[in-house]
Amino acid sequence: MAWKKRAAGDGKTVQYTTIKVRLYPTEAQAELFENTFGCCRYIWNHMLADQQRFYLETDQHFIPTPAKYKKEAPFLKEVDNQALIQEHNKLSQAFRVFFKSPEAFGYPRFKKKKTDRDSFTACNHVFESGPTIYTTRDGIRMTKAGIVKARFSRRAEAWWSLRRVTVEKTKSGKYFCSILYEREVKTPEPVAPAPETTLGLKYSVGHFYVADNGDMADPPRWLKQSQEKLAKLQQRLNRMRPGSRNYQEAVRKYREIHEHIANQRRDFIHKESSRIANGWDAVCMRADALDEMARSASRGNAFKSGYGAFRECLRYKLARQGKQLLVVNRYELTTRTCSACGFVQSSASYRRRTWSCPKCGAAHNREVNAARNIKAQGLAQIAACA
């Protein structure tokens, strides 16, 4: 997936691409990873505590570097120093975005072993003797860990530059590594969308989304089957004695099903967003506030559906081809407005699934009509900017 872009000059763009691989570490390598996870949490919490204490005493913002703690905590020297430096960079970035927009980004909090994700990041440095991190035929070479066996779903091109890796451990005990590559690509030519090559999408509780042409994207049936399996396992867990062997085995299966559902949803989102980005020149969507929608029981769990991730996937996949994602104001009356004549329904009469316009007599499906209005407003944005 594309992560970020920056200009490179000469009609080219530097694009960052991440490849995620499964790791199969030995017992010694797994122990080193666990120690690194713990050291990163230790460094983060101590830097944050010292920053708070320094701010209370001097009214100044200052974050000490990891080198300050190595004398009192010698075990920090046993792990990769790059992982500790990246924790300092992440904490600094967390404070930067917090100071810039406190409403959007919360104050950095302390990390907990049981609730926070186990992960660490290490940057690649190229010396005369060679890079510190590189991939092999069946593994990844990392500092202090050596060559860790890995399974690659895809390979990077030879001219891609490896920038950094992020190792994480899932709740089910699996290890994964996200490899960030940098590459230069030709800057895509902007695509001028036309009404017939533009698609309007509306979030739907029952169908994930509904398009202006009547197409609906229903999540795959195996995703629903996995969710039903998870619900049955939750019922069994409630009847078990916590701490027993059967309970621990059920918790392990529970975590594996949760991970499986997340993978199924991610697979559906990437395939659907790729299909739309490759088939259309522009996509119009409404800027729905998913956090507010999630609080409404009648609109389903918008976070659980993955619609926000779908929107972001569409954004970068369209931009990668020079196409646009047009976001419409969420306060526009797209559902209540007739897409044929522009008549606005009353708030009490538009909630039916199908309705007829009292002015022009056009029959509408409520969600398809809203998608058509979203598309019309998106095209109006393009015309206004032209």
For residues 56-90, b (16+ Cβ closer than 10 Å) or e, as one string? eeeeeeebeebeebeeeeeebeebbebbbbbbbee
Q: pLDDT tens track of the chain, all 386 residues? A: 444 555 555 778 888 999 999 999 999 999 999 999 999 999 999 999 999 999 999 999 999 999 999 999 999 999 999 999 999 999 999 999 999 999 889 999 999 988 888 999 999 999 998 999 999 999 999 999 999 999 998 999 989 999 999 999 999 899 999 999 999 988 888 888 888 999 999 988 778 889 998 888 877 777 778 888 888 888 888 888 888 888 889 889 888 888 888 888 889 999 999 999 999 999 999 887 776 666 664 555 555 678 888 999 999 999 999 999 999 888 888 888 888 888 887 765 556 788 788 888 888 888 898 899 999 998 888 877 76
Rounded to whole angstroms, the Cα distance separating 214 from 219 reads: 16
Q: Is the pTM of this model over 0.85?
A: no
For the chain, domain boundaries: 2-186, 195-220+276-385
Q: Dihedral sign, CA of 379, 381, 383, 386?
A: negative
Q: Measure the CA–CA gap between 215 and 110, rounded to whole angstroms.
A: 45
What distance in Å separates the CA atoms of residue 204 and residue 24, rounded to the nearest whole number?
Answer: 40
Rg, Å, the chain Cα set: 25
Distance (Å) of CA 260 to CA 25, 222, 325: 21, 11, 30
Helices and strands, counts by H and E, the chain: 8, 17
